Amino acid sequence: MTSSAPDPLDRAATPAHIDFVLDAIGVPDAARGQVRAMASRTPSKAEWRGFLASALLLLGAGLVLSGVISFFAFNWATLGRFAKMGLAAAMSACAAAALRRPETLLSRVLLSAAAVLLGALLAVYGQTYQTGADPWGLFATWALLILPWAVAACFTPLWLLVVGLIDTAHVLYLAQVRQGGHWELTLVLGVVAVHVLGVMAWEAQFLRHEPWLRDQWGARVLLVTALALLLGPSLAIVISPDWRSPLGPVSVVALTFVVVATGLFYRLVRPDTFMLTAAAGTVMTLLTTVMGRLFIVRLDLGILGMFMMTGVIILEVTLVVSWLRQRGREDTA
């Protein structure tokens, strides 16, 4: 793996970065105050209005969609056939309205609303005509049908909806079709694999000259959930060594691989302090649990074990913070 220098324009305008740039280009002291003031200025009224408009748009869309779905679910038995099919008209209207100015946030929200209403429409179709399809097939079909919309919208929440539908279809498939056996192992590893592949796909497009998605929070959500799913069984096998499920050992191996891969990629290829913090926090949690069982359960040190655990936590936090600060200084150099 070869390291590539990050784009200086992608770095946050922190005081340390600003001072570093000012020193590098030799800006006089008289002009530095103005530069710092511009970097730390308070948003204008127009910017606040734009932020509130976007926030209220997302919140309102979520509430309206929740209301529509709840209305149809609660009044299902009393609604007529044409009222139920009114969902198709609402979905079509949202999708058509999104075509007017597809580059705006409003159009992306409308297309996301159409994607959500499509799921309700599939449920209406299945209940009306009694197709006999399993619920996991509904969610899989839903994800497949809205995938082109997710590609066209380039909207992170819509991509996360697709991933969530795939996760749900996988869980329902195991619960309804693949019952028995070590289903929990397949469940956890399947969801983790979907999320890891999602992070890899996001990073592949982000490293392009013109990435489709720029919001980093989507990839962070996927990675954190994958680490949490693997961390749970890993902690369980430490706390309860008598647990005989193969999920524990396999999760430890998979967690080790994901943590190492995360550390290498986000240290050498695309530096990201949040991802490194998530990986380090996972290691700290697992190591703290191991040391706690050793001091308190195995050695039965009592109060002394609690004091030793306090020292272990302080040492871990100190080492991780020092390492992250050192990485940050190297990235800004």
Q: Which of 215, 297, 224, 210 minimizes the C-alpha distance to 255?
A: 224
Q: At what angle do helices 183-206 and 247-264 cross, to 10 degrees?
A: 10
- Say what the pLDDT of residue 35 is: 67
- pLDDT per residue, tens digit, the chain (333 aa), is 444 555 555 666 666 667 776 676 666 766 667 766 666 667 778 888 988 999 999 899 999 989 888 887 788 777 777 777 788 888 889 999 988 888 889 899 999 999 999 988 888 777 766 666 678 888 999 999 999 999 889 999 999 999 999 999 999 998 887 766 678 889 999 999 999 999 999 999 998 888 888 889 999 999 999 999 999 999 999 998 888 888 889 999 999 999 999 999 999 899 898 999 999 999 999 999 999 998 888 888 888 888 999 999 999 999 998 888 887 766 655
Q: Would you kindly state where each structural domain of the chain is located, as residue ranges?
A: 180-333
- Say what the pLDDT of residue 243 is: 83
- Say what the pLDDT of residue 210 is: 86
Residue 47 to residues 42, 50, 226, 277, 306: CA-CA distances in angstroms? 10, 5, 35, 31, 50
Kind and range of the H or E run holding 278:
helix 273-292
Chain centroid, CA 227 distance in Å: 11
Is residue 192 a contact partner of residue 233, using CB atoms and an 8 Å limit?
no
How many Å apart are CA 269 and CA 1, to the nearest integer?
Answer: 7
- Say what the pLDDT of residue 43 is: 74
User: CA Rg, the chain, in Å?
Assistant: 25
- Say what the pLDDT of residue 182 is: 76
- Say what the pLDDT of residue 75 is: 80
How many Å apart are CA 37 and CA 241, to the nearest integer?
Answer: 57
- Say what the pLDDT of residue 4 is: 52
Q: Which of 235, 224, 201 minimizes the C-alpha distance to 279?
A: 224
DSSP 179-190: -SSSHHHHHHHH
